[in-house]
């Protein structure tokens, strides 16, 4: 039984899994959350690169048709230094950059991301490759991941912290903002409220769906596949937060795993 491996440092990548499962319900998914080592976003790219290597190695035990690195920080690490793999590996930065270029009328694009992703400059590079006259601005939002992992999604404290980062980057007169961390689409309502109606909000999922469709033979049948969640650190709270983020997308099992 072939599956698609989806990998993130935590539960944020479930936003990507949700989008993939909505598009291809018949596919089987194995989601790996490296919760024991979360956050990746405050670590150096070479440390994150080692973690990604271990996670890709772990996936070798499964019969996979593709691996989706559903973590922007991990994606930045492997774009800089690709890791050889027998199955196609997809990142979330290139599809996100492409969707932002499509969405932006002025070419002034803002990136909200972790410190490590900002530091790697993976988004500016990807955008400028597609549109050399674009102007790209970046804002690290290090407090957002803990809020999402804690499940504080609709909360006044979260709204204030979201506003603080969004208002800082909006000073650059942008028309498009990339939610450049897989945790951030969970805060979409708060981000949209802080950004206002005139700003296009982009996450990578839509572009990723296009990438998978163009490179992999996906199962388009009307059956229902399985979703298995594995986490390197497991707590009852994790299951609760996973359900909150998956918003109705069901999973068959959630289990601890040792890499």
Give me the active site residues, please.
71, 181
The distance from CA 209 to its chain's CA centroid, rounded to whole angstroms, is 13
Do residues 14 and 240 make contact, with C-beta atoms less than 8 angstroms apart?
Answer: no
Strands 3-8 and 200-202: unpaired
Interface with ligand DGL (CB under 6 A), residue from 39, 185, 207, 225 = 39
DSSP character at residue 251 = -
User: Does residue 27 interact with ligand DGL by CB under 6 A?
Assistant: no
Nearest approach, Cβ of residue 112 and ligand DGL (Å) = 10
Among 40, 58, 59, 165, binds ligand DGL (CB under 6 A): 40
Task: Output the smallest distance, CB 224 to ligand DGL, in A.
Answer: 27
CB hemisphere CA count around 102 (13 angstroms): 11
- The one among 27, 35, 41, 124 contacting ligand DGL by CB under 6 A: 41
Four-CA torsion 24, 55, 146, 3, nearest 10 degrees: 10
Q: Which position among 15, 28, 91, 117 is part of the footprint of ligand DGL (CB under 6 A)?
A: 117
φ, ψ of residue 116 to 5 degrees: the values are -65, -40
Evaluate the omega torsion of the peptide bond into residue 39 and state whether it is cis, within 30 degrees of 0: yes
Contact 251, 25 (CB under 8 A): no
Minimal distance in Å, beta carbon 180 to ligand DGL? 7
- Which positions from 56 through 95 interact with ligand DGL, judged by CB under 6 A? 71-73
28 vs 72 by CB, closer to ligand DGL: 72
> Which CB atom, from 99 or from 183, has the smaller least distance to ligand DGL?
183
Q: Is residue 8 part of the contact set for ligand DGL (CB under 6 A)?
A: yes
| 124 forms part of the interface with ligand DGL (CB under 6 A) | no
For residue 125, count other CB atoms closer than 10 A to its CB: 15
* Residues at the interface with ligand DGL (CB under 6 A): 8-10, 12, 38-41, 71-73, 114, 117, 145, 181-183
């Amino acid at each position: 039984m072939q599956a698609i491996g989806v990998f993130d440092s935590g539960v944020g990548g479930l936003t990507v899994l949700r989008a993939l499962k909505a598009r291809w319900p018949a596919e089987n998914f194995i989601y790996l959350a490296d919760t024991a080592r979360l956050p990746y976003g405050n670590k150096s790219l070479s440390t994150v690169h080692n973690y990604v290597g271990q996670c890709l190695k772990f996936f070798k035990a499964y019969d996979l048709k593709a691996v989706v690195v559903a973590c922007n920080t991990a994606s930045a690490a492997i774009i800089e230094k690709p890791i050889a793999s027998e199955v196609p590996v997809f990142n979330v930065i290139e599809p996100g950059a492409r969707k932002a270029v499509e969405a932006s009328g002025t070419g002034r694009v803002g990136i909200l991301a972790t410190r490590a992703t900002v530091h790697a400059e993976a988004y500016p590079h990807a955008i400028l490759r597609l549109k050399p006259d674009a102007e790209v601005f970046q804002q690290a939002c290090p407090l957002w991941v803990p809020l999402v992992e804690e499940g504080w999604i609709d909360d006044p404290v979260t709204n204030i912290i979201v506003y603080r980062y969004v208002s800082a980057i909006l000073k650059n007169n942008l028309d498009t903002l990339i939610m450049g961390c897989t945790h951030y689409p969970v805060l979409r309502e708060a981000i949209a409220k802080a950004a206002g109606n005139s700003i296009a909000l982009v996450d990578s999922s839509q572009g990723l769906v296009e990438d998978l469709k163009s490179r992999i033979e996906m199962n388009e049948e009307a059956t229902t596949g399985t979703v298995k969640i594995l986490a390197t650190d497991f707590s009852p709270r994790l299951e609760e937060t996973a359900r909150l983020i998956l918003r109705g997308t069901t999973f068959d099992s959630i289990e601890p795993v040792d890499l």
